[in-house]
Amino acid sequence: MGRYDFIVIGSGPSGRRAAIQAAKLGKSVLVIEGRLKVGGVSVHTGTIPSKTLRETALNLSGWRERGFYGRSYRVKKEIGSQDLSIRLGKTLAHEVDVLEHQFLRNGVATMAGFARFVDPHRVVVTSPDGSELAVEGDRFLIAVGTVPHRPEGIDFDDPDILDSDQVVDIARLPRSLAVVGAGVIGIEYATIFSALDVAVTVIEPRANFLEFIDREIIEEFVHQLRDRGVTFRLGSAVETVARGADGRIVTTLEDGRAVRSEMLLYCAGRMGATGGLGLDACGIEVDGRGRVAVDATTFQTSASHIYAAGDVIGFPSLASTSMEQGRIAACHAFGLPLPPAPAYFPYGIYAVPEISTVGMSEEEVRRRGINYECGIARLRETSRGHIMGLEQGLMKMIFSNKTRRLLGVHIIGEGATELIHIGQAVLNLKGTIDYFIENTFNYPTLAEAYKIAALDAWNRMAR
């Protein structure tokens, strides 16, 4: 039986980062992965595939050029599922290759198979051919991620009913699509398909969605989506999903309304992939959604030598934050001082248009009773935006009237997920409005929006 200093279960962002960190500290590390290829949900069905589909959709549809050439502009007239899958296949193969090489270079051992604890220091791995092997470890990281929530009564064997893992292998492009769930994943896919001219209806039981984002940004977002024909059915839950007499999928809502579509994409929630992991053998409990509780600083579970990181511990469930959690867990496990967690991390929502945000929203600033001022810049006000033909998109900055410090940045539009890092740096370095006013920005760039928004706020700030 093999014995390792550190056994990592799951090879997604948190597992990968933890494994490499431990290996760099000279520890013997084994990564066990249930899939045939390493990379996790992030590489195979989540982050990378959805972002690749988005990029393909934007490129082939000519989306970015429509500001200049009109709404009917297309790079490729007929876009089929094959057009989407070719780029996907290449990107995923590259990601797996990079990761395998990283493991190899750092001397991290990998094993394909499904792991389950049989006691607090031993897991049994069932390999794809059914054979079993036990391995022992001093320390463990549970990095098993999540699986899509599939409610009873929805027939996921129907080829036209997909969950968020299946959509990356979509067999054909539908003419109409109902997306159930207006969380980040549902909204990203809804807008990607809409960019491909699929008629999309978003169904969400709550009256609002993406509630952690500044409301002004969401208002702008909804306005843009409605303008291009996306329908919202908010405030009513799904009651039934069935095939209608005309062969279409009929989604009936609790308020009696029905949505008819060629396909349905179900994106309402994910569950921790802890079923079958044998956590009871280590005295670790999970909540109703299969998630594991951890110490927020060290990522230790209730068994102190077993850590958990990534989506299996819940919020914020991002690849970006999962990586940091994995690294911190490995540092703690092997006695390295923990880096202080930065106060603010950014959110990126890769919808069409994309949204990114860091720091406090205007609603949060008001809740806290902070005396503040906002500044707005439209991306079309920058020369670069004009050159690019951008008609939409805005940046909103929030500053404290008292300290002049930046409190939050909220961006919707082209480049939002990249632009946000300027705001993130200033925010975490406790910078003020003066940084944006006094510094020179490259010209022409979208980043000039920072200066424009800051000057807009400055004009109204108490001096």
Ligand X SMILES: Cc1cc2nc3c(=O)[nH]c(=O)nc-3n(C[C@H](O)[C@H](O)[C@H](O)COP(=O)(O)OP(=O)(O)OC[C@H]3O[C@@H](n4cnc5c(N)ncnc54)[C@H](O)[C@@H]3O)c2cc1C
Interface residues with ligand X (CB under 6 A) are 9-15, 32-35, 40-42, 46-47, 50-51, 114-115, 143-146, 164, 185, 273, 277, 310-312, 317-320, 322, 348, 350
For residue 207, the minimal CB distance to ligand X (Å) is 24
Residue 140 or 399 having the CB closest to ligand X: 140
For residue 119, the minimal CB distance to ligand X (Å) is 16
Residue 266 or 350 having the CB closest to ligand X: 350
Helix axes 319-333, 13-24, angle to 10 degrees: 30
For residue 233, the minimal CB distance to ligand X (Å) is 21
Q: CA 381, 387, 392: angle at the middle one, nearest 5?
A: 50
Closest CA to 426 of 463, 451, 445: 451
- The two beta strands, 146-148 and 270-272, are antiparallel
CB atoms within 10 A of CB 85: 18
For 373, the token pair is: 């001022």
**Considering Cα of 263, then 264, then 270, then 275, what sign does the dihedral take?**
negative
- The two beta strands, 406-412 and 394-400, are antiparallel
Nearest residue relative to ligand X (C-beta): 145
Residue 198 or 351 having the CB closest to ligand X: 351
Residue 154 or 365 having the CB closest to ligand X: 154
Residue 174 or 348 having the CB closest to ligand X: 348
Determine contact, residues 188/54, Cβ cutoff 8 Å: yes
Helix axes 184-195, 47-61, angle to 10 degrees: 20
For residue 141, the minimal CB distance to ligand X (Å) is 9
Determine contact, residues 55/42, Cβ cutoff 8 Å: no
For residue 322, the minimal CB distance to ligand X (Å) is 4
Residue 57 or 312 having the CB closest to ligand X: 312
For residue 448, the minimal CB distance to ligand X (Å) is 26
Residue 121 or 380 having the CB closest to ligand X: 121
Residue 63 or 347 having the CB closest to ligand X: 347
The kind and range of the H/E element at 18 are helix 13-24
For residue 268, the minimal CB distance to ligand X (Å) is 12
For 407, the token pair is: 């409190």
Determine contact, residues 294/301, Cβ cutoff 8 Å: yes
Distance CA 379, CA 414 (A): 8
Residue 73 or 344 having the CB closest to ligand X: 344
Count Cβ atoms within 10 A of the Cβ of residue 408 and give its class: 0-12 exposed, 13-18 middle, 19 or more buried: buried
For residue 183, the minimal CB distance to ligand X (Å) is 10
Distance CA 15, CA 2 (A): 19
For residue 144, the minimal CB distance to ligand X (Å) is 3
For residue 374, the minimal CB distance to ligand X (Å) is 27
CA distances to 115, 283, 437 from 4, in Å: 15, 21, 54
Distance CA 243, CA 240 (A): 10
Residue 63 or 114 having the CB closest to ligand X: 114
3-state class of 3 per DSSP?
strand
